[in-house]
Amino acid sequence: MTAEQYLKRPYDLKKKAKTYRYIADCYQKREDEQNRQKFLEMAQVLEKEADEKSVRIMRLLRRVHPLYADALKYRYLLGLTLDEVAGSLNYTKRHTTRLIQKGLAQVEDIYVG
């Protein structure tokens, strides 16, 4: 697993949980309580796993340069686009891309090493 995939995991899990909650709502409209409960439970498990992974990632990012860590948090934990990250950090897209790349390299060194 690459550093980028590792950092994206909580966001991906939350997206999947959101989908399961939507499916549970559809089952509620059909009055199928058994399937509704099943999908709600799966969503809760995914959300819990996402929260646990987010905590581990935040601990990992404490060991990364603060500017790189901020760029990585915005991009991967919050799921912002490159334009949104650049705007939040008040940098150009090009500079933001470099911050993210350098941050990923540091995470890779820590994660692998």
| Contact partners, residue 51, CB within 8 Å, separation at least 6 | 10
For residue 113, the model assigns a pLDDT of 64
Q: What are the distances in angstroms from CA 105 to CA 5, 37, 50, 71?
A: 13, 42, 23, 13
**pLDDT tens, position by position, 84-101:** 999 999 999 999 999 999
Query: How far is it, in rounded angstroms, from Cα 28 to Cα 92?
Result: 46
For residue 112, the model assigns a pLDDT of 74
Task: Judge residue 87's burial from the number of C-beta atoms within 10 Å of its C-beta, 0-12 exposed, 13-18 middle, 19 or more buried.
Answer: middle
**pLDDT tens, position by position, 7-58:** 999 999 999 999 999 999 999 988 989 999 999 999 999 999 999 999 999 9
Q: What is the DSSP-derived secondary structure letter of residue 11?
A: H
- The predicted model scores a pTM of 0.83
Q: Name the residue among 14, 79, 69 with its Cα closest to residue 43.
A: 14
User: Domain residues of the chain, as ranges?
Assistant: 3-112
For residue 93, the model assigns a pLDDT of 96
